[in-house]
Amino acid sequence: MIMHFVRGLFILVIAAVIFIGITSGAIAQTDVFTVFIVALVLALVFLAADIFMPKQSLSAIFGVTFGLLIGMIIGWALGLVLDMVNNVFNINMSEEALRLSKAVLVVSVSYLVISLVMRTKDDIRFVIPYVEFSRQTKGMRPLVLDTSVIIDGRIADICQSRIFDAPLIVPRFVLNELQLVADSPDKLKRNRGRRGLDILHKMQSDPLIEVKIDDTPPPGIDLHAEVDQKLVAFVKSCDGKLITNDYNLNKVAQLREVDVININDLANALKTVVLPGEAMKVRVVKPGEEINQGIGYLDDGTMIVIEDGRDKIGDDIQISVTSALQTSAGRMIFGKYEHTIKAGNRNYYDKRRNDYPQEKREQPTQQQ
């Protein structure tokens, strides 16, 4: 909305300048039409460049500007050297050829300097004379997301609550890893990857959440290194905070003195989302470690340990939650398959009848 207002103001100012210049009488009548057309074309070119040019980071724009400035200065100095060589050695180069050579020299040197700056700006901070300063940020710092926290999905609800005001950054290598998970031949991994992509698209579409995909490579890290190493180096370089629910990544980041926000720690500080006695529907996907245990997962990857669910692998069953465990490593939910809690079940009744008082135990025996 603000950019629309700025563009409209630009059009009004350009129109006013053209009108004042034409009506002031400073321009000859024969040149009025030419000046009007040239000014209009230039205004439209700059307006189209603003609308259709993709978003670029501020560091890239300053890198190009810095490289262009230094390149022009070096090119001008080399032009003076060319003049001196022409005079000393009596080359007798014509004036037109000399000007053309200087122009080519300035353009070539500017291109080389811009290319050098853009390729080295992520390894060294180009503050003359190429001294890297450690930035001390006191205000709002960016929040860098890792793959696990995107798949988890709770970050979208947290951001919608406006707890985080800082922009969210997703490095390109994290997005690539998320795409690899979504293309995995394993069905569970593939579903988790697609869920992460859907959640990321949801956050990008939300006007309350600012999400940016950053293509900047982590400085000093090989391109084929592990994603966790790249992530820690990236967060340190941008002086941001890492948001994750990966226990091991959390510990490594803390050892590297990187600020970490662990979603599991945040959830651990709040009440659990499931209470004992609540019913939920879950698919049993594999057997558990104990006898008669089955294992299922929620959409966010939370493991559910199901008592008496081993023979229901591949089925969607109704369970009753018995307890929930939340730690920094993640969340686990324990439950029972529904048939074990029905009062009419014979095995359940026989298992509990010894707990009844004597007078209540005699009643069903007399009825039989």
| 261 and 301 within one domain | no
Q: What percent of the chain has pLDDT over 90?
A: 5
Residue 191 domain flag: yes
pLDDT 10s digits, 64-119: 787 788 888 888 888 888 888 878 777 776 777 777 777 877 888 888 887 777 76
Query: Which is more confident, 25 or 158?
Result: 158
Q: How far is CA 359 from CA 113, 210, 273, 344, 356, in A?
A: 96, 68, 41, 20, 8
Least confident of 115-129, 216-230, 276-290, 303-317: 115-129
Q: Is residue 136 pLDDT above 50, yes or no?
A: no
pLDDT 10s digits, 42-51: 778 777 777 7
| 255 and 151 within one domain | yes
Residue 133 domain flag: no
How buried is residue 229: exposed, middle or buried, by Cβ count under 10 Å (0-12/13-18/19+)? middle
Containing 189, the helix (H) or strand (E) segment is: helix 187-205
Residue 181 domain flag: yes
Q: Which of 29-33, 101-105, 186-190, 349-353 has maximum average pLDDT? A: 186-190
| 286 and 211 within one domain | no
| 156 and 256 within one domain | yes
**Domain count for the chain:** 3
Least confident of 52-56, 101-105, 209-213, 224-228: 52-56
Mean pLDDT of all residues in 152-166: 84
Contact status, residue 241 vs residue 146, Cβ threshold 8 Å: no
Average pLDDT, the chain: 76
Mean pLDDT of all residues in 252-268: 84
- Look at residues 250, 268, 286 and tell me which one is the last residue of a structural domain: 268
- Look at residues 268, 297, 317 and tell me which one is the last residue of a structural domain: 268
Contact status, residue 321 vs residue 332, Cβ threshold 8 Å: no
Least confident of 19-23, 260-264, 345-349: 345-349
| 111 and 82 within one domain | yes
Q: Give the length of the chain.
A: 368
Q: Is residue 264 pLDDT above 90, yes or no?
A: no
Give the range of the structural domain holding residue 73, as residue numbers without chain letter.
Answer: 2-120
Report how far residue 93's alpha carbon sits from residue 83's, in angstroms, rounded to the nearest whole number. 9
Q: Is residue 14 pLDDT above 90, yes or no?
A: no
List the CATH number of the domain containing 356. Answer: 2.40.50.140
Mean pLDDT of all residues in 293-301: 86
Residues 6+ apart with CB under 8 A from 210: 167, 168
Ramachandran region, residue 55 (left: φ > 0; alpha: ψ -120 to 50; beta: rest) = beta
Residue 365 domain flag: yes
Residue 201 domain flag: yes
